[in-house]
A and B are shown apart, each in its own frame.
Chain A
Amino acid sequence: MTLTAAEKSCLASTFEKIAPKAEQYGSELFQRMFLGFPQTRTYFAHVDTSANSPQLSAHGAKIIASLGKAIKNVDNMSAALSDLSDLHAQSIRVDPSNFKYISHCLLVLLAAHLKADFTPQVQIAWDKFLAAVSAVLTEKYR
């Protein structure tokens, strides 16, 4: 799957809007995922998953920062995210089916905050990008 130049540019400009609120949006991302897809909580049994949890907002901010890194290195994501791929394969071991839940919840989050600016073109750019990130994060599973 390849991203067009317009799509890459769209990712970067959307990201600029969400990066300043990484903790708030990171926390919201988790709430959307846990409430919409409760089975995803099983990976966070050791964490305070309540709405105002500082652990979750810190972790959510990390995820958003990693997405920013992926966008900056969108033509070379395997290399840029190699450490994260290792981590997911050896330690976190999230079942691959779960990546579509977090990806969908990120699209919903973007839609809720960008409203009419979350056009079909913005949606397809993010949907393609998140599918590519998910593939990279699971590529060393076996």
Chain B
Amino acid sequence: MVNLEAAEKQTITSFWASVDPAAQGENALQRLLYCYPWSRRYFAKFGDLSTISAIRKNSHVRAHGHKVLSAVGDCIGHLGDIKGHLAQLSKLHCETLHVDPANFCLLGNTIVVVLASHFGAKFTPEVQAAFQKLVAEVAAGLSRKYH
């Protein structure tokens, strides 16, 4: 679907070296759950997610955000075949988790916003474009095995 050029792969890899999957992962999931409250439908087991302070205090959110962003980091280790790498996770999200793939784009864009606020002006339009391709590819990989 999207082809990452060599320069874009390098940009992604070098910026990712300064990403803390625990901190930024928690930030991204907090923002998703707060800004797009319908996404909470998938996290009933997490308990209270009704306010920003409840979301911030929620240890499940912290743990899960870390898990999700680490998984994105794993994709960066497989930039040549993200779709293949995500085949099992795709089946999981379809058959077990029953997540609407629209949420993958929502979380992907939320991750881009978090990276922008983390890196500031260094997150130039060119850097953003590389990461937009990455999150699009991850979303495509996660929805590929849906049936």
Q: Give residues in A with beta carbon < 8 Å to B.
A: 28, 31-32, 34-37, 104-105, 107-109, 111-116, 118, 120-121, 123-124, 127
Contacts and interface: CB of A to CB of B under 8 A. Distances in A.
A104 B109 contact: yes
Given A28-B125, A35-B128, A35-B129, A123 B120 contact: no
Given A32-B125, A36-B125, A123 B119 contact: no
Contacts of A111: 113-114, 116-117, 123
B140 interface: no
A2 B41 CA distance: 22
Given A121-B52, A123-B35, A114 B117 contact: yes
Contacts, number: 59
Interface in B99-143: 109, 112-114, 116-121, 123, 125-126, 128-129, 132
Interface residues of B, number: 21
Nearest to B123: A112
B116 A108 contact: yes
Contact of B125 (A31, A113, A118, A124): A31
28 contacts: A28-B125, A31-B125, A35-B125, A35-B129, A36-B125, A37-B132, A104-B109, A105-B128, A107-B113, A108-B123, A108-B128, A111-B113, A111-B114, A111-B117, A112-B116, A112-B120, A112-B121, A113-B121, A115-B118, A115-B120, A118-B117, A120-B30, A120-B31, A120-B34, A120-B52, A121-B34, A121-B52, A123-B113
Q: Is the interface of A mostly helix, strand, loop or mixed?
A: helix
A115 B118 CA distance: 6
A58 B52 CA distance: 38
B9 to A, nearest CB: 16
B110 to A, nearest CB: 9
Most chain B C-beta atoms within 10 Å of own C-beta, residue among A34, A104, A111: A111
Contact of A35 (B30, B52, B121, B126): B126
B141 to A, nearest CB: 19
Interface in B33-79: 34-35, 52
Given A32-B128, A35-B128, A112 B119 contact: yes
Contacts of B35: 120, 123-124, 127
Contacts of A34: 125
B12 to A, nearest CB: 14
Given A32-B125, A35-B126, A116-B117, 13 more contacts: A28-B125, A32-B128, A36-B128, A36-B129, A105-B128, A111-B114, A111-B123, A112-B117, A112-B121, A112-B123, A113-B121, A115-B117, A121-B52
